Amino acid sequence: MENIQDLLDRTAAFSRTKTEGGAPASYIPELARADPALFSLSMTNFDGETYSSGDSDSLFSMQSISKVAALCFAIETLGRERVFSKIGMEPCSEAFNSIMKLEMTSSIPLNPFINAGAIVLVEMLNERFQALAIAEIMDFFSRLLGRQSRNALHINEGIYRSEKRTADRNRALAYFLHNAGTLSGDVEETLDLYFKLCSIEVNTADLSVMGATIASGGRNPASGTTIMSLDTAYIVLGLMNVCGLYDQSAEFAVEVGVPAKSGVSGGILCAVPGRMGLAVFSPPLNNSGNSVAGIRALADLSRELKLRGI
Ligand code: GLU
């Protein structure tokens, strides 16, 4: 049988140019500068071994993938009841930054992976940890990703500032939520923390370790330490299954069929329960905000590795 490194190399070589119709996100000006030809793919197994192929040294901002890590941390520190007192658990058929659903329903964001839900989550963490929030969150992210210390993770200042400067849409969402009483703290302070989390830089190896940690039920296979409870992993896996790829989540379930979360910098994180973590990065996005070549590579790997079990 072909070994895993050869399989990743073959998949990367085939998929990296399959970006037709895609373009890097441009609504955050700094993201538009990404090299559209970059491609990286990584896999981490439960022995803690990570395999990578392509431009695996490339760093990119987590964007919405940070919402998965923030959710793990929030459930672990605040508890499930508190987190889901102001955020729902249902998929969203609108865009990730849509304001429409909030106005039509109860001002409770549908899930923690759309922007409105993540902003509410970030306010809860900010309220709990105050001035220490960013340090505590980055410390948790470092452990989840298998980095050695919190200093090893960095915020990309250029992306952070670019997003903060141009985030009218997220400001509109947050002020709407504040007006409705779902948010009660300082909106700009909450948004600042949200932008910082979106701008944390990672590579696909980091994300594949994070995927393996969630897929194993909470144990980071690289460090051997338990990062979250099995119950937290179940919640996160469930939401990744139904809300992980914006309004393309159902199609992704058909094409790939594993719990995943994408971000607008072109990354996709996958947690294959009981099997492995996978991550891919390629900046050109489709209309839903998902990496075109990334989905292609994951669909191929899903079949080759029988990630659906069949
Ligand atoms: N920072 C991005 C925003 O808030 C994250 C979007 C995403 O990756 O889905 O618009």
Confidence of residue 150 (pLDDT cuts 50, 70, 90): very low
The closest alpha carbon to 65, from 298, 284, 281, 233, belongs to: 281
User: Is 194 noted as a catalytic residue in this protein?
Assistant: yes
Confidence of residue 149 (pLDDT cuts 50, 70, 90): low
Q: Which residues contact 120 (CB under 8 A, 6 or more apart)?
A: 86, 87, 109, 112, 177, 182, 183
Least confident span in 123-137, 147-161, 284-298: 147-161
pLDDT at 140 over 90: yes
**What percentage of the chain reaches a pLDDT higher than 70?**
98
Average pLDDT over residues 38-51: 97
Distance 65 CA to ligand 1 centre (A): 9
**pLDDT value, residue 95:** 72
CB count within 10 Å of CB 213 equals 30
Phi-psi domain of 146 (left: phi exceeds 0; alpha: psi -120 through 50; beta: other): left
Which domains can be identified in the chain, with CATH numbers? 4-63+200-305 (3.40.710.10), 64-198 (3.40.710.10)
pLDDT at 1 over 50: yes
Distance 219 CA to ligand 1 centre (A): 27
Give the side-chain half-sphere CA count within 13 A for 154.
Answer: 8
Mark out the alpha helices in 199-256 (DSSP H runs). Answer: 204-215, 230-243, 249-255
pLDDT, tens digit, 9 for 90 and up, residues 176-209: 999 999 999 999 999 999 999 999 999 999 999 9
Average pLDDT over residues 36-51: 97
Pocket test of ligand 1: the residue of 71, 114, 119, 163 to mutate, having most ligand atoms within 8 Å of its CB, is 163
The DSSP H or E segment spanning 191 is helix 187-198
Ligand 1 within 6 A of CB of 64 = yes
Average pLDDT over residues 225-252: 96
Average pLDDT over residues 216-238: 97
Ligand 1 within 6 A of CB of 160 = no
pTM as predicted: 0.97
Average pLDDT over residues 98-117: 85
Residue nearest to atom 2 of ligand 1 (CA): 63
Mean pLDDT score of the chain, rounded to an integer?
A: 95
